[in-house]
Amino acid sequence: MSSALAEAALRLDRVARSYAEGSGTLEVFRDVSLALREGEVVALVGPSGAGKSSLLHMAGLLEAPTAGDVIIAGVPSSSLSDTERTRLRRETIGFVYQAHHLLPEFSALENVMMPQLIAGQSRAAADAEARRLLDLVALSQRLSHRPSQLSGGEQQRVAIARALANHPRVLLADEPTGNLDPRTAGSVFDALLAIARREKTAALVATHNLELAARMDRALVLHEGRLLDGGKLGQKT
């Protein structure tokens, strides 16, 4: 095994996913391999229906692959029990979705504190870390605001801070700017890019926005069940 693969925060080793469909089988993707280093932000692009969300669910241990293995921070997941997989997911993976899924009755600060409290952090430590993260996404003046009092872009920045609250090794983002206008999408992506690199978190970001994809370290293209190296979008190879 190469040192690059051995040190990967996230590695997919020839994973496949298929579903029973009637008397046959629907193959979503096959023989997919990738490796993400810490601090690396990688775009996952491809047409609607190509399986980007399914691949993120697989990488995030929300679904088990039909074949192959998902290795998080050097830990192969295929041999783990359901309880062990849940613990590994909780301790090493953060998620950001197109919808922010913030708890409406809590403030921005409390939303970012919540996963830390669930993980057993003291209230004082969770408060301090939530303030630090919200400052990194330029929301230090909005700590007491509830989601309904925030703009769409602000809501997504809170969601990014919350996803990183427990210092995951891997951040998985599924169309995190899909509901936003282009200008707001750009500012939210700026926040995601900056905080992932500062926190040294490996990030895999599914997006239809090729302008944003071109700003990431590299791109992977999911096409007809295969994962292809898209290189650095916008640059000649």
| pLDDT per position as a tens digit, 156-189 | 999 999 999 999 999 999 999 888 888 888 888 9
- Model confidence at 1: pLDDT above 60: no
pLDDT in tens, 181-219: 888 888 889 888 988 898 899 999 999 888 889 999 999
Q: What's the rounded Cα separation, in Å, for the pair 108 and 154? A: 9
Per-residue pLDDT at 98:
86
Per-residue pLDDT at 3:
43
- Model confidence at 41: pLDDT above 90: yes
Q: Which two tokens stand for residue 39?
A: 């601090």
DSSP for 136-187 reads HTT-TT-TT--GGGS-HHHHHHHHHHHHTTT--SEEEEESTTTTS-HHHHHH
- Model confidence at 6: pLDDT above 80: no
- Model confidence at 8: pLDDT above 80: yes
Burial of 111 (C-beta count, 10 Å sphere; 0-12/13-18/19+): buried
pLDDT in tens, 67-125: 999 999 899 998 899 999 999 998 999 999 888 899 999 999 999 999 999 989 999 99
- Model confidence at 230: pLDDT above 70: yes
pLDDT in tens, 48-74: 888 889 899 999 999 889 899 999 989
Q: What's the rounded Cα separation, in Å, for the pair 206 and 220? A: 9
Per-residue pLDDT at 171:
95
Q: Which two tokens stand for residue 109?
A: 């600060």
Would you say 30 and 226 are in contact if contact means Cβ atoms under 8 Å apart? yes
| pTM for the model | 0.88
Indicate the pairing of strand 24-36 with strand 226-231. Answer: unpaired
| Cα-based distances in Å from 224 to 48, 66, 69, 161, 214 | 11, 17, 20, 34, 22
Q: What's the rounded Cα separation, in Å, for the pair 70 and 1? A: 15
29-38 mean pLDDT: 91
Fold observed for domain 3-104+149-231: Rossmann fold (3.40.50)
The answer for residues whose C-beta is within 8 angstroms of residue 27's C-beta and 6 or more apart is 16, 17, 18, 225
pLDDT in tens, 130-148: 999 999 899 999 999 999 9
Residue bearing tokens 């998985």: 172
Per-residue pLDDT at 231:
72
Per-residue pLDDT at 37:
93
- Model confidence at 34: pLDDT above 90: yes
- Model confidence at 5: pLDDT above 70: no
SS3 115: helix
Per-residue pLDDT at 214:
92
Q: What's the rounded Cα separation, in Å, for the pair 155 and 161? A: 10
Angle between helix 182-198 and 123-136 (nearest 10): 130
